[in-house]
Chains A and B, each alone.
Chain A
Amino acid sequence: MGVIEARDLRRTYKTTTGALRRRTVDVEAVRGVSFEVGEGELFGLLGPNGAGKTTTIKMLITLLIPTAGEARVLGFDVVKDAREVRKRIGYVFGGDRGVYERLSALDNLRYFAELYAVPAREQKRRIAELLDLVGLAGREKERVEGYSRGMRQRLHVARGLLHDPPVLFLDEPTIGLDPVGARELRATIASLTAIGKTVLLTTHYMFEADALCDRIAVIAEGKIVAEGTPRDLKAGVARGKVVEIEVYGTADEAVERLRVVEGVRSVSVEERDQAQVLVVQVDGEREVTHALLGRLDGSSVGRVSSREPTLEDAYVALVTAE
């Protein structure tokens, strides 16, 4: 039995459009997601913005009721046994909201320690340990409104660990952090599984998932499109190659023209200074460079290069596949 189990989870939102003639529209955010996370595993849910990562995590942490399907955490149903689930999980999300700005970090932690029923005699020691762990010791009496984004994020992590939960849900925890802050936070996350925590991490940073996760599920448009270890996912594209073509100003229409070339698996665009780089994933060792350039006839083309695929290419191929 997995520590976290999701079976055919679905979630539909109702939104209304129009001012006078109001119309209700159903938006399917999650469309049948299933996965299992084992004890002590760091499992990554990877996908672009709007793929359904946060909706999935919110169903698992009992903030949303699934429209269909079921999910269990440590054997407890997330709908029927919500309170039991909440006692055993920690939740950390990205961004600088979600903390009481006019209170100090210490008061924020003290309040949540009460809400998580941390025994009064243990609170002081536990809070001190966590402030040390996240590097906020010495700044804990300052009001949070004066904190940087990274400090707030670290406060989120401390709050998520207050009651020493066996399972942690981290929803894009490094979003918006500077590279040094993000690297420090990743080190903290990596240390969590070393002390036996089971972690579900959502991110849209490929390198982050690659560096941290034991297994990854790639989610796109509400469905899981691939699941496996980072090595498995890389192997999926290892047989191909990647051609990168620099173009100037015609990237969007070029994408459509290149997609139809035989042997092309996917095409994506990266902005680099004044130029756009068309990243073309090609099946096998097929030589398609001439065919690609032929399709770009009339466009302003710069440097053309070819390289081995990376995990990021695997990810892009999965989430852009039609």
Chain B
Amino acid sequence: MNAVRIVLVGFVLHLKMLSRSAFTGILGVIWPLFFATTAFFMFRTRHDPSALLYASLGASVMGIWSATSVTASSAIQRQRWEGTLEPIVATPAHFSLVQLPIAIAMSTIGIYSMASTLLWGRLLFGIHLRMVHPLLFCLAVPVTIVSIGMLGFLLSVTVVRYRTAWALGNALEYPIWLVCGFLVPLSLFPGWVRPISWALAPTWGVRAIREAALGGSPLWDVAACAALGLGYGVIGALLVGTVLRSARARATLSLT
């Protein structure tokens, strides 16, 4: 019960902190629009409204991933700078219960990006958000957000031990856009890329969202996305003890 409360209170308070940052908010809204615009111009040449919606949805999930990959990895480093990492570790709470809500709050902030991308497409390119399965769309979006948050959590765990590992999130931002099929269908990639894509929750998340909007059977994709997210969470929680012990042994919890 206490674990659930820690996660919920942590999520609400971190979301509050992130929402109060005008910089994070503006960046979350504006940054994805550049990439979305590029995608809209690319897909507009096909003169197919479905293709444009396909691009719009892909670009919106790109925003969620970008918000998570960069910020989740740097979240630990920021806590080091702010001096809050040590007081948190010094509490008896399991560290994964502290870090998990931070990562999920980061991916939730990606909703700004999603909303701005869809609105941008509607206003400037006339892309209507049609939904074949509105209920499944409403299920697919939060499952994708939480699963991306879980992937961010797994990334952030490594930063506890390695002070400079926050750069990992930046390095993974664009490759994930590609291998998860946010913009380009996975069928265009060589066969060896596919197992990598299947192991990544955003692949299934964006597929579920597209199938819910454009038609198809998104339930399997939602389930795969949720299962992978859960898997990342379990791996992260198991790793965190080892990583923290190593950080205590190597004195990497503080800046100096």
Which residues of A are at the interface with B, using a C-beta cutoff of 8 A? 13-14, 58, 61-65, 83, 86-87, 89, 91, 93, 95, 97-103, 107, 110-112, 114-117, 120, 159
Known: A110-B9, A115-B91, A117-B92. A65 touches B84 (CB 8 A): no
Partner of A100, one of B9, B82, B89, B91: B82
Q: Which residue of A lies closest to B87 (CB)?
A: A98
Q: Say whether B115 faces chain A, with CB atoms less than 8 Å apart.
A: no
Report yes or no: A63 in contact with B2, Cβ–Cβ below 8 A: no
Which residues of B are at the interface with A, using a C-beta cutoff of 8 A? 2, 5-6, 9-10, 13, 16-17, 20-21, 82-84, 86-93, 98, 245, 248-251, 253-254
Known: A64-B251, A87-B92, A98-B82. A112 touches B13 (CB 8 A): no
Q: Which residue of A lies closest to B245 (CB)?
A: A65
Report yes or no: B6 in contact with A107, Cβ–Cβ below 8 A: no
Report yes or no: B13 in contact with A111, Cβ–Cβ below 8 A: yes
**Which of A95, A99, A103, A115 has the most B CB atoms < 10 Å from its CB?**
A115
Partner of B9, one of A13, A98, A114: A114
Task: Write out the residue numbers on chain A whose beta carbons fall within 8 Å of the beta carbon of B2.
Answer: 114, 117
Task: Write out the residue numbers on chain A whose beta carbons fall within 8 Å of the beta carbon of B16.
Answer: 102-103, 107
Given contacts A102-B17, A103-B17, A110-B9, 13 further A-B contacts (CB under 8 A): A13-B251, A61-B90, A64-B251, A83-B92, A93-B86, A98-B82, A98-B83, A102-B20, A111-B13, A112-B87, A115-B88, A117-B2, A117-B93
Bound Cα distance from A111 to B9, whole angstroms: 7
Report yes or no: B6 in contact with A115, Cβ–Cβ below 8 A: yes
Task: Write out the residue numbers on chain B whose beta carbons fall within 8 Å of the beta carbon of A87.
Answer: 92
A51 to chain B, nearest CB (A): 15
Report yes or no: B10 in contact with A114, Cβ–Cβ below 8 A: yes
Report yes or no: A91 in contact with B87, Cβ–Cβ below 8 A: yes
Report yes or no: B86 in contact with A63, Cβ–Cβ below 8 A: yes
B247 to chain A, nearest CB (A): 9
Report yes or no: B92 in contact with A98, Cβ–Cβ below 8 A: no
6 smallest beta-carbon distances between A and B, as pairs: A97-B83, A98-B83, A115-B91, A86-B92, A115-B93, A102-B17
Q: Which residue of A lies closest to B82 (CB)?
A: A97
Report yes or no: A107 in contact with B13, Cβ–Cβ below 8 A: yes
Bound Cα distance from A93 to B92, whole angstroms: 18
Task: Write out the residue numbers on chain B whose beta carbons fall within 8 Å of the beta carbon of A120.
Answer: 5
A312 to chain B, nearest CB (A): 28
Bound Cα distance from A201 to B89, whole angstroms: 20
**Which of B13, B21, B89, B90 has the most A CB atoms < 10 Å from its CB?**
B90
Task: Write out the residue numbers on chain B whose beta carbons fall within 8 Å of the beta carbon of A83.
Answer: 92
Report yes or no: B248 in contact with A65, Cβ–Cβ below 8 A: yes
Report yes or no: A98 in contact with B90, Cβ–Cβ below 8 A: no
Q: Which residue of A lies closest to B20 (CB)?
A: A102
Bound Cα distance from A275 to B98, whole angstroms: 53
Report yes or no: A98 in contact with B251, Cβ–Cβ below 8 A: no
Report yes or no: B91 in contact with A116, Cβ–Cβ below 8 A: yes
Task: Write out the residue numbers on chain A whose beta carbons fall within 8 Å of the beta carbon of B90.
Answer: 61-63, 86, 89, 91
Task: Write out the residue numbers on chain B whose beta carbons fall within 8 Å of the beta carbon of A13.
Answer: 251
Bound Cα distance from A91 to B17, whole angstroms: 24
Report yes or no: B5 in contact with A114, Cβ–Cβ below 8 A: yes
Report yes or no: B248 in contact with A112, Cβ–Cβ below 8 A: no
Q: Which residue of B lies closest to A116 (CB)?
A: B91
Task: Write out the residue numbers on chain A whose beta carbons fall within 8 Å of the beta carbon of B254.
Answer: 63
A244 to chain B, nearest CB (A): 36
Report yes or no: A98 in contact with B86, Cβ–Cβ below 8 A: yes
B253 to chain A, nearest CB (A): 6
Bound Cα distance from A159 to B230, whole angstroms: 33
Task: Write out the residue numbers on chain B whose beta carbons fall within 8 Å of the beta carbon of A61.
Answer: 90
